[in-house]
Amino acid sequence: MKANMMLNAYTDSLLLFLNRIQQFKHDIESKVEHYFNYFSVKWTGEFFVSDYLIQPLSVGVKRHFGITLELVSEEVILNEVDLYFKEILEQNSMVSIKCNDQELEEVIEKHFAMILEKETLDMKNAEEILHTFTTRKLKTLNGTDVNYYFGGNGNEVILIMNAFGQSIHYWCFLLFELIKDYKVIIWEPRGTYWKEGGCSQYTSFENHIDDIDMILSAEEIEQCYFLGWCTAPKVALQYYAKHEHRVKALMFISGSFKGVSQLEDFDTNYEKNLQEISKLLDKQPGSEAIFQRSILSSLNKKTMIERKIDAGDCDDIHDSQFTEVFTSARTEIKPLIGGPFQKKEEIIPYFRQLSEFWSKDVRELIQGAKIPMLFISGDFDQMASSKSSELLASISSQAVFIKVKRGNHFILIEQSELIYRIIHNFILDRLHEVKSNFVNIQDYREGIC
């Protein structure tokens, strides 16, 4: 009886631990598929009250998750993947119990089955979430169609602003969380295909701004929250400058701010390469196919670790190369990244859109904003500089910057639950005009989340 009571007290802690192990495995293998077939995870055995738990848990993790835990001394240098695992353990210190191997095995079996069931349901719901939205269509004065999508529950409204030329599928997991508490409007920029991405036409910023205002007027929404990813923050800021009475707060995920004054030194290589291609396209008309092949080839290139695994040669991988696991995108979203470049005839419209985007300097708009602003960025983002977001947030007393540790450009899908929690707490603070709901804001700023 006493042993059973101790096990019951232990199961909540164990379930949390196993959930984090499952997430850890998914995060790594979604980017490097066979990683754990070739690499063990080094750990020092800390964060457990009792050494008794180390051996049976190591056996259970190997059996159920296929992850080999290698116990090492504290002097051993850990790579980025090992450090990520260490952080998971730091968040989940185990209680000390005594039980035999069979009892512990039964607990692990039970909760591992629960984890798999929950993950299957979540994946299915996330992929089907777009079908719950109602498609709506408006026409401009010159007869151009403006599409948007409406769904969700709650009193507050969030306008989702996607990046130019990108698929809405990037948002599925975050939408899965948002629609539980908010009404959500998804604006589809003219020329951007809803599902597959791509840019069939160039549309000026002014027209985009007018389209958004027309949507809010049609829905009789006096004021709402704006949530934009990648290139969308600049559009949101331009809209706020013209219609500030309609915007409650601005929230930016992985914002790209290339073209903003005094930030040139922080442009990413990805941004610089796109601008060079844009210049060459202007000089060499008809060369779209050449650059299309080059861009798609670059986006599909495997990481050093992936190439080594394919060759069966993992002995000479350096510790620094494990960073690639976090900077690369998950396998299932890599095809989405090439959306704007899939059709040759859409290359020019997309780069025209980017050229106008780069020409917009929003520094003064941020500095003069009178509403709350939230900047969220991953410190491993290689497409849009997190440093640029941080510096822009620092020039406004209305802004908060949150750095997601080991987050890349796609944190809205890869860390959707965390991003939702940050957004939700930020909105609660605005509604109640207090800071108490935005827990550990200093921790976020220091990159602990």
Q: Tens digits of per-residue pLDDT, 23-55?
A: 788 888 888 878 888 888 887 766 554 555 666
Point out the domain boundary residue: 122, 147, 165. 122
| Crossing angle of helices 347-359 and 269-283, rounded to 10° | 120
Angstrom distance (rounded) from CA 378 to CA 372: 20
Lookup: tokens for 382: 């290689």
Burial class (CB in 10 A: 0-12, 13-18, 19+), 176: buried
Residue 4: exposed, middle, or buried by beta-carbon count in 10 A (0-12, 13-18, 19+)? exposed
Q: Residue 174 falls within a domain, yes or no?
A: yes
- 280 belongs to a structural domain: no
Judgement on whether residues 92 and 140 belong to the same structural domain of the protein: no
β-strand 373-378 against 399-404: which pairing, if any?
parallel
Is 139 within the bounds of a domain? yes
- Can you read off the two tokens belonging to residue 171? 């948002």
Whether 279 maps to a domain, the answer reads no
Say if residue 260 is in the same domain as residue 169: yes
Cα(160)–Cα(318) distance, rounded to whole angstroms? 40
Gap between the Cα atoms of 215 and 142, Å rounded: 16
Give Cβ neighbours of residue 185 (< 8 Å, ≥ 6 apart): 148, 149, 150, 157, 158, 159, 160, 215, 216, 219, 221, 224
The full DSSP string for 248-269 is EEEEEES---TT-TT-GGG--H
- Contact partners, residue 253, CB within 8 Å, separation at least 6: 227, 228, 229, 230, 376, 377, 411, 412, 419
Given 70, 99, 122, which residue is the final one in a domain? 122
Same domain, yes or no: 108 and 153: no
Total residues belonging to the chain: 449
Residues 140 and 88 in one domain: no
Q: Which helix (H) or strand (E) holds 373?
A: strand 373-378
How far, in Å, CA of 212 to CA of 221, rounded? 11
The amino acid at residue 325 is V
Q: Are residues 28 and 56 in the same domain?
A: yes
176 located within any domain: yes
Task: Give the contacts of 310 (CB within 8 A, at least 6 positions apart).
Answer: 302
CA-based end-to-end distance of the chain: 40
Q: How many Cβ atoms are within 10 Å of 106's Cβ, its own excluded?
A: 12
> What is the spatial order of strands in the sheet that 373-378 belongs to?
134-139, 145-152, 183-187, 157-161, 224-229, 247-253, 373-378, 399-404
In terms of domains, do 36 and 8 share one?
yes
Any domain includes 310: no
105 in the same domain as 148: no
Pure H helices in 161-287: 172-178, 205-218, 232-242, 269-283
> 253 and 159, same structural domain?
yes
Q: Are residues 115 and 187 in the same domain?
A: no
- 399 lies in a domain? yes
Examine the fold and report which residue of 94, 122, 150 is the final residue of a domain before the chain moves on: 122
- What CATH number is given to the structural domain containing 383? 3.40.50.1820
Q: Are 224 and 215 in contact (CB under 8 A)?
A: no
Please report which residue ranges of 300-346 form alpha helices under DSSP H: 304-311, 324-327, 334-337
User: Is the separation of the CB atoms in 351 and 273 below 8 Å?
Assistant: no
3-state SS class at 449: coil
- Asked if residues 371 and 248 have their Cβ atoms less than 8 Å apart, the reply is yes
Q: What is the pLDDT of residue 194?
A: 72
Helix (H, G, I), strand (E, B) or coil at 273: helix
Domain count, the chain: 2
168 occurs within a structural domain: yes
Q: Which residue has the tokens 């670059």?
A: 298
pLDDT by residue, tens only, the chain of 449 residues:
444 444 454 566 666 677 778 778 888 888 887 888 888 888 776 655 455 566 667 777 887 788 888 888 776 788 888 888 888 777 655 444 444 555 555 665 665 565 555 555 454 566 678 888 999 999 988 888 899 999 999 999 999 999 999 988 899 889 988 999 999 999 999 888 777 788 889 999 999 999 999 999 999 999 999 999 999 999 999 999 999 999 999 999 999 999 999 999 999 988 998 899 899 888 888 888 888 887 777 777 776 667 766 666 666 666 666 666 666 777 777 778 888 888 889 999 999 999 999 999 999 999 999 999 999 999 989 899 999 999 999 999 999 999 998 889 999 988 888 999 999 999 988 766 544 334 333 344 444 45
Q: Are residue 177 and residue 113 in the same domain, yes or no?
A: no
**Same domain flag for 153 and 262:** yes
The angle at the Cα of 109, spanning 105 to 110, to the nearest 5 degrees, equals: 120
Its domain, for residue 259, covers 133-266+355-445
Angle at 35 between CA 32 and CA 41, to 5 degrees: 130
In 3-state terms, what secondary structure has residue 185?
Answer: strand
Q: Which residues contact 42 (CB under 8 A, 6 or more apart)?
A: 70, 72, 76, 78, 79, 82
Same domain flag for 156 and 198: yes
